[in-house]
Amino acid sequence: MGAIRINQMGYRTDSTKQVVYVGEASNFLIFDVEKDQLVLEGDLKTHGVDEASKDIVCTGDFSSLKEPGNYCICIGKEVSPIFTISDKQPQVCTDALLKAFYYQRCGEKLSKEHAGEWHHDVCHLQPSYLFHPEAEDLLKNNPQALEKIDTSGGWHDAGDYGRYTVAAAKAVADLLLAYEHYKEAFTSNLDIPESNLPGADILHEVKVELDFLLKMQRKSDGAAYSKVTTRYFPGMIMPEEDTDPLFIFDVSSPATADFAATMAMAARVYKEFDASYANRLLDASIKAYEWLEKHPEPMLFKNPPNMNSGEYGDVSDIDERYWAAGELYRTTGEEKYHSDFLKYYAQVEDKFTLGWSDVGGYGSIAYLLSEQELDTKIYEALKIDWITYAEILKQRSSKDGYGITLSLDDYIWGSTMVLLNQSMHLIIANRLKESKEYDYVIERNWDYLFGMNPMDISYVSGLGEQAIMAPHHRPSAADGVKEPVPGLVSGGPNAGLQDDAAKEYCQGQPPAKCFIDHVESYATNEITIYWNSPAVYVGAYLCYR
């Protein structure tokens, strides 16, 4: 582990640029590695002890270096990894982060043509059995008594092969927002099977998940099923080797509301390209919302007994209903959704979180960015509160040794998602203020993801000289390829130490160092679609801000 911490993927020419040095020093030198020439000398500013890592750090600014090229930084006898200054840097990262969704596809063969050495055979095409308390006995003795549902397609959620409605909703929402806000960032050919079709590849990729989600809607009444998984997490095997029976699990009000919100968003986005498909999405959204109206009491999902796969449970559905009403009002302009949104506004405690269980932030974004007629008082209150939290994040960044927005309490399971969600919040605040006030903080968070952090590691596979190599990701572990599937965002430091590997290697470490690049550390080094999705949003912003 080196003492010089930088964004290993580099910087845009016009971005602010920071180096962090662990130790005490007074200056830094930057060399053009191709010309073997000193191009900049700068002073280091002593920060002192970084609370989250307990590192004694100095920081240096080299924003004045704008010439495209490849560089390294020298401080004393330490030499940094080589990094690039190029306006293409965020685009390279964003394309890789988005292409990762292709590698997570379920129900289809990933060919060598598009997946390269990470190709694999088709998987999980068998129908799912609607879960029944006596499912195992029925499978053995009377399988025809179990209802079968086609659940093929979509994305594997994480390092395992489950597929979950609420997790999918966050991932799809982030990607749709990225496209709505920064279309110019999505003109690249990602080399996916649909790249030769009209339209942006991000829309082709998101449609893969939307088509799966449509299968998760119960045809009889519009409610959405919670998840599709096997009964137990599979071993570290390839997806085509995971042939245990699949089960589809009961409907819930959070899943149904998330479904309604996501479909309403998608209908708005896809209307320009495929009106028929957009109408289908909107019809599905409205039908799900009608079910919510008929079932005003929360119906929360819990794993059945002896079920060892992800639960994605919840304690409330008010934030999900808030989001669904907000998206349907923004898409349709119908007053009943506006009335419901205002009702839920008064009940939602957290109106800013952009998680999979707390989705109030998405409802707020839907209202703040809506073109429909709004309640002025509610709009202004939301805007003020949104910007107030952005200011809190900005102040937190100014006190952090690495310039990031994570608090000590934010080093939890999926801390990189927390960081990226905070970046999304700051980007939305920029939009509301019609400024770039928070760009410096957004850029520091981005730098952290790619190596400017206490672990001196890029938390994105394949991106950076010292990127993660052993994510808790079954295809990466089982495919016989040395390099992991590229573009996957690791969960990052997690002070909870909820797995044996983390307990063995990270015990006693400060929060920002509770990370181990180990395939068995699912609590620090797993991947998920909804950790990649906010990264795509942030990357898209940095491409063409």
The yes-or-no verdict on residue 543 having pLDDT over 90 is: yes
Write the CB contacts of 230 (distance below 8 Å, at least 6 apart in sequence): 161, 162, 242, 244, 245, 246, 247, 309
The yes-or-no verdict on residue 134 having pLDDT over 80 is: no
Catalytic residue among 47, 114, 472, 518: 472
The yes-or-no verdict on residue 302 having pLDDT over 90 is: yes
Is 499 assigned a catalytic role? no
User: To the nearest 5 percent, what fractions of the chain are helix, strand and coil?
Assistant: 45, 15, 45
Concatenated DSSP letters for 282-344?
HHHHHHHHHHHHH--S-----PPTT-BS-----S--HHHHHHHHHHHHHHH--HHHHHHHHHH
Determine the Cα–Cα distance for residues 356 and 86; give it in Å rounded to an integer: 34
The yes-or-no verdict on residue 135 having pLDDT over 80 is: no
pLDDT (tens digit, 9 = 90+) per residue, 456-485? 999 999 999 999 999 999 999 999 999 999
Is 517 assigned a catalytic role? yes
The overall pTM is greater than 0.95: yes
Catalytic residue among 201, 258, 456, 517: 517
Determine the Cα–Cα distance for residues 118 and 106; give it in Å rounded to an integer: 14
The yes-or-no verdict on residue 111 having pLDDT over 80 is: yes
The yes-or-no verdict on residue 107 having pLDDT over 80 is: yes
Is 160 assigned a catalytic role? yes
Is 157 assigned a catalytic role? no
The yes-or-no verdict on residue 294 having pLDDT over 80 is: yes
Catalytic residue among 55, 157, 160, 447: 160
Q: What is the rounded average pLDDT of the residues 254-274?
A: 97
Residue pair 301/311 in contact by the 8 Å Cβ criterion: yes
The yes-or-no verdict on residue 393 having pLDDT over 80 is: yes
Res 545: pLDDT:
74
pLDDT (tens digit, 9 = 90+) per residue, 277-287? 999 999 999 99
Phi, psi of 528 (to 5 degrees): -150, 160
Res 504: pLDDT:
97
Q: Establish how many alpha carbons lie within 13 A of residue 75's alpha carbon, considering only the half-sphere containing its beta carbon.
A: 25
Residues linked to residue 3 through DSSP beta bridges, in sequence order = none
Q: What's the CATH architecture for 105-316?
A: Alpha/alpha barrel (1.50)
Residue 543: in which H helix or E strand, if any? helix 529-543
pLDDT (tens digit, 9 = 90+) per residue, 216-234? 999 999 999 999 999 899 9
What's the sign of the alpha-carbon dihedral 106, 112, 118, 119? positive
Strands 247-248 vs 128-130: parallel, antiparallel or unpaired: parallel
